[in-house]
Structure 1
Amino acid sequence: MAGSSSPSLSLVHGPLESPLCYLTLGQLVDQQSDRYGSKEALIVPWSGARLSFYDLSQRTQELARGLLAIGVRKGDRIAIFSSDDERFAELFLAVARIGAILVILNKTYTILECDRAIRHTDASMLFLGDMVNRTATVTLIQHLQIHPIPGLKNIILMRTEHVEATWTLTWNDVLCAGASVAKKMLDQVQQEVRCHDTVNFQFTSGTTGAPKAVMLSHFGIINNGRICGYHLNMTPEDTVCCPPPMFHAFGLVCGLICSLAVGSAVIYPSRDFDAHTIVDALIQERCTVLHGVPTMIVVMLQQLQERGQQIETVRTGMLGGMKVPSAMVSEMKERFPRMEVTIVYGQFHAATPPFQRFTIDLALGMTETSAACFITSESDTTVQKLETVGKVLPHVWAKIVDSQGHLLPVECRGELCVSGVMVQKGYYKDKKKTDAAMVWDEEGMLWLHTGDEATIDAEGYCRITGRIKDIIIRGGENIYPTEIEERLMEHPVIEQAAVVGLKDDVYGEVVAAFLQSLPLQVRPSLNEVKGWVRQAFGRHKAPAHVFWVGPEDLIHEYPATGSGKIRKDALRKMGNMMLDT
């Protein structure tokens, strides 16, 4: 069964026949250890780690005992600020074993952002990498010494033996302390953990406002990971290359948890994104699955072009975070001739015909849904693959509502709401925003209001038409940035486009486009850009302002979240400032 939908209303649900997994992460790790034993589970080339499923089970048990020894208990919040490595993964699973909660700090955070996140989540411990986002973290320790946080008992240094202060420990200190805790005690603690317990706080990307601490459960992330893996037809024979970072749901759930759930091996090639290292890993490990966001893929394709290489082993993968330019698809076909791509969270528009042996799928997801909730399938038509984000995944419900929460007919634009196994438990210590986003209906079903504007057609396919908060209101007319961005990216010279509303004395807001051109091309003028948009849309949708983004421009690169999404709030601020000068 492919799910069902109402013939006239925008209400759909995915297949319900497939069984759900009611395990905790600790139970899942141990189950997979029994099943796969010495088979490789986690590879980190830059640190030299190659852990089997058995290794992962044993090491996370030892670390969990260490956590108990230093006073961590069920429900405690344990923060981590680290780049990607095996110790990040081990800590996540060890914390999960004892019912504590891992607070995952965005590795692009400044010292003050880390401070605010730790205070907001009431973290009692901070696990700290020595280098995060290519920057030494000693300054964070110094800051916390001068500005102590109530309740923060220890800082654990993950990759150094040098103790900075009396209240810092090392990774080995924690492991050694675990020798005092009997395995029987750990077993008793693990028995108290339930699959619906919160297992981690994942911060939203904050492209339109302040990040929120999303509370995710064992149940949600395990089942979402399993469903994504099955959709990609992943097996224990696969090796996944995962450049997206673990601080983001994409890298954590679609990377680590998905691979763990289906028995595949996952590779985190570098501490921080490095195209050269990633391509090396793809070749040396003969990876069959590749995840990424378009900004990552562009640089990787450049690296392959410089080497004059193709990668024949990669057969599938996920892209997410932002729109995928059609020029990128052409080059991916050339460099990854066997690859089928699933695009997570966003829309793809191609001005070129479909490619033989190169299938573009789409999926929709967000932090609050643990990762994905919509996805296309191999049997979908070309139009459905290129213009929609597919149908809802198994055990997921979706609907389109108006501003009053009323269900809309098919094909009508409104807010996308989702419900099901993957939905968050709420935002930590933010009842107001939780109540606004998580709404019970008259039938007793809890719905997440995504903030995405979308339509659902009579067959159940979803089209994302923009963000509710991104809508530009020009003289009382609603303008949807997504359709303008897609039109702009059809231009032969424009590689990337981001459209926002900027202040205007006459209309209140007007359309502004931040554009990135293809290398060595003559950029179109403002009037030419306006004319291009007006060929498809009314005059009011043509950009009143155009700002170019590039190394020689005032804006060197798009402001982005750590997961690669363009920050429209930052663009809006920069654009308004430039209009004032």
Structure 2
Amino acid sequence: MNATSNPYDAPFVSIGDQIRNWAVEQGDHPALVCEGTTYSYADFDVMIDRCASALQRDGVMPEDVVAICANASPWYAAVFLGALRAGAAVAPLAPSSHPDSLAGMIANAGARVLFLDASVREALQSAATPPSVRTVRLDAQGDAEDTTGIDAWLAPRGAVPRHVDIRPEWAFNIIYSSGTTGVPKGIVQSHAMRFAYGLRSVARGYGPESVTLISTPLYSNTTLVSFFPTFALGGTVVLMPKFETKRYLELAQQHRATNTMLVPVQYQRLMAEPDFDRYDLSSFVSKSCTSAPFNAGLKADVVRRWPGSLTEFYGMTEGGASCELCADEHPDKLHTVGRVMPGHEMRLIDPAGNELPPGSIGEIVGRSPTMMTGYYRQPDKTAEAEWYDRDGQRFIRTGDIGRFDEDGFLVLMDRKKDMIISGGFNIYPSDLEQVLLQHPDIAEAAVVGVSSERWGETPVAFVTLRGDVSAHAQALAAWANERLGKMQRVSEVVIADALPRSAIGKILKRELREGFRPSSPL
């Protein structure tokens, strides 16, 4: 499946130079708003220069790596962009990671400097971090024990860093995958890849008049695909360090937000907010969603009640090809993730790596201008993620199973690793989840495969209930099994208060699977 027109043909300009240009052209224009404080492009450019100058003073060279592990803040943003202006790559790390995993990522990245806050500093005390890494506290004033506070570390106001001629192929950032054991894989994204993300955002209404409301963590690629294009195109970022439904709606109304990127669970909570319809959201031009399955009914509700377009993006942090679904334009395709984006190419392959003909179900592979360089210092893992066609063209394997419908819209079946093989039959958990979500008492559903002596694997459903309703697990299982095929039937339904999620809203099916204890032999 191929979309041929290419919107990515434009001369490369680094993000640091783009912001500097905006500081000259519209110095008084708001660049960043956070917790009641507004930073103009002139102010923000000075903050970035102070960070870049301090890094150069400390010996950080182009193509070195710095790490940031902290909650979102203006100085987090300035440090990230300052490192990029100095030519360094940034490894943004999740503060919620296990301390040993954090230490492993810092070591794998070879970080010269680690920027953190109080919570992360305390967690790392029990882990063996490389002794050569300098630490700077983003939330500390002056010196703080064995770390340096941000104000003491910064170069003086007015400092101008040495200009670095950024090359498009240099690493922009290293995004670590959300692995739960061992050291997660570091996904290297280039400056060229981030530049391409910026160019494609023009079509979604990003520009000098745009106001992007950011409420997901800054270490997540989900956030960065909106965060950086806003600055690159001269808009304003309203940064919300912690997501709360009413506060989000207040900020959207107050700042006349035009753009936002949210994950499905955030849309779910916002649409369930009793006061949602009382807020003026008429300023929105576009809303986006990615990172986790987005229920068709929820998409329809967002389209109906929230002004502005709604676009769902399907893709991977590793890059490869992406799809986009313009939900308001295709109300009959809300069960899909849309068509392949312009300049991107997708194909389907079988387990042996053979390309499949149209109409088949197979693993999705893709290629585009937005592809990772590879996994940092893990060439074997990089090779596992790649697939080459007969002409030697490089594709990225997604690990997702899907098919294209007759109109070229991609229907996702499931993650390859989540597919259940029961009695020799392939069962796609998403099919079962869609049936369960039709029950009026079920708010969320996740289906996983667990070991079964009789079938090898068997599906078990975990659900949460709406509001104050009460329901019996056995009755829910019976209701679902009446509507499922014989080989799809769930062995058990477990009612939970909440489903375990990552910081960006992905349901952690591994935790469900590992914590499951059957009520009877399966």
TM-score normalized by the length of structure 2:
0.92
Among 224, 244, 250, the alignment partner of 1:252 is 224
**Alpha-carbon separation, structure 1, partners of 2:12 and 2:360:** 37
Change beyond 3 A, Cα 1:209–1:391: farther
- 1:141-540 to 2 correspondences below 5 Å: 142-143=125-126, 147-152=128-133, 154-166=134-146, 168-176=147-155, 183=160, 186-187=162-163, 190-191=164-165, 193-206=166-179, 211-227=184-200, 229-254=201-226, 256-269=227-240, 271-303=241-273, 305=275, 308-325=278-295, 328-329=298-299, 332=302, 336=306, 338-343=307-312, 363-369=313-319, 373-377=322-326, 380-384=329-333, 386-523=334-471, 525-535=473-483, 537-540=484-487
Query: CA deviation digits over 1:79-135, x for unaligned, max 9?
Result: 1111111111111111111221111111222323322221222222110123xxxxx
Deviation at 1:65, TM superposition (A): 0.9
Worse-superposed segment, 195-204 or 20-29: 20-29
- What residue in structure 2 maps to residue 6 of structure 1? none
Residue 291 of structure 1 contacts residue 319 of structure 1 at CA under 8 Å; is this kept in 2? yes
Query: CA deviation digits over 1:333-389, x for unaligned, max 9?
Result: 6753x233222xxxxxxxxxxxxxxxxxxx21221129x8211247954323x1221
SS at the partner of 1:247? coil
**Alpha-carbon separation, structure 2, partners of 1:202 and 1:366:** 11
Residue 279 of structure 1 contacts residue 303 of structure 1 at CA under 8 Å; is this kept in 2? no
**Alpha-carbon separation, structure 1, partners of 2:350 and 2:276:** 50
Q: Does 1 or 2 have the higher relative contact order (CA < 8 Å, sep 6+)?
A: 1
**Alpha-carbon separation, structure 1, partners of 2:145 and 2:468:** 53
- What residue in structure 1 maps to residue 512 of structure 2? 571
Residue 211 of structure 2 contacts residue 235 of structure 2 at CA under 8 Å; is this kept in 1? yes
Deviation at 1:251, TM superposition (A): 0.9
- What residue in structure 2 maps to residue 560 of structure 1? 501
Among 14, 17, 21, the alignment partner of 1:27 is 17
5+ residue gaps, structure 2: none
Residue 67 of structure 2 contacts residue 91 of structure 2 at CA under 8 Å; is this kept in 1? yes
- 1:99-138 to 2 correspondences below 5 Å: 99-130=87-118, 136-138=119-121
Residue 533 of structure 1 contacts residue 542 of structure 1 at CA under 8 Å; is this kept in 2? yes
**Alpha-carbon separation, structure 2, partners of 1:398 and 1:203:** 24
**Alpha-carbon separation, structure 2, partners of 1:446 and 1:231:** 27
**Alpha-carbon separation, structure 2, partners of 1:148 and 1:315:** 45
Deviation at 1:531, TM superposition (A): 4.0
Amino acid at match of 1:25: I
TM-score normalized by the length of structure 1:
0.83
- What residue in structure 2 maps to residue 548 of structure 1? 495
- What residue in structure 2 maps to residue 63 of structure 1? 51
Worse-superposed segment, 498-507 or 34-43: 34-43
Residue 101 of structure 2 contacts residue 183 of structure 2 at CA under 8 Å; is this kept in 1? no
Worse-superposed segment, 400-409 or 418-427: 400-409
- Tell me, yes or no, if structure 1 residue 79 matches structure 2 residue 67: yes
Query: CA deviation digits over 1:42-79, x for unaligned, max 9?
Result: 1112xx43222333333212210111001211222211
Change beyond 3 A, Cα 1:37–1:393: farther
Deviation at 1:210, TM superposition (A): 6.4
- 1:41-56 to 2 correspondences below 5 Å: 41-45=31-35, 48-56=36-44
Residue 241 of structure 1 contacts residue 266 of structure 1 at CA under 8 Å; is this kept in 2? yes
Residue 207 of structure 1 contacts residue 561 of structure 1 at CA under 8 Å; is this kept in 2? no
SS at the partner of 1:84? coil
**Alpha-carbon separation, structure 2, partners of 1:452 and 1:148:** 35
Among 70, 76, 90, the alignment partner of 1:88 is 76
Count of aligned residue pairs for this structure pair:
522
Change beyond 3 A, Cα 1:525–1:377: closer
Change beyond 3 A, Cα 1:298–1:391: closer
**Alpha-carbon separation, structure 2, partners of 1:141 and 1:521:** 42
CA RMSD between the two structures: 2.8
Identity %: 23
Amino acid at match of 2:162: L
Residue 50 of structure 2 contacts residue 156 of structure 2 at CA under 8 Å; is this kept in 1? no
SS at the partner of 1:75? coil
Residue 513 of structure 1 contacts residue 546 of structure 1 at CA under 8 Å; is this kept in 2? yes
SS at the partner of 2:398? strand
Residue 365 of structure 2 contacts residue 387 of structure 2 at CA under 8 Å; is this kept in 1? no
5+ residue gaps, structure 1: 1-10, 131-135, 344-362, 551-556
- What residue in structure 2 maps to residue 140 of structure 1? 123
SS at the partner of 2:315? strand
Residue 122 of structure 1 contacts residue 151 of structure 1 at CA under 8 Å; is this kept in 2? no
Query: CA deviation digits over 1:430-475, x for unaligned, max 9?
Result: 2221101023333232110011111124543211111111110111
- What residue in structure 2 maps to residue 39 of structure 1? 29
**Alpha-carbon separation, structure 1, partners of 2:439 and 2:376:** 43
Amino acid at match of 1:27: D
Change beyond 3 A, Cα 1:242–1:377: same
SS at the partner of 2:387? strand
**Alpha-carbon separation, structure 2, partners of 1:429 and 1:438:** 15
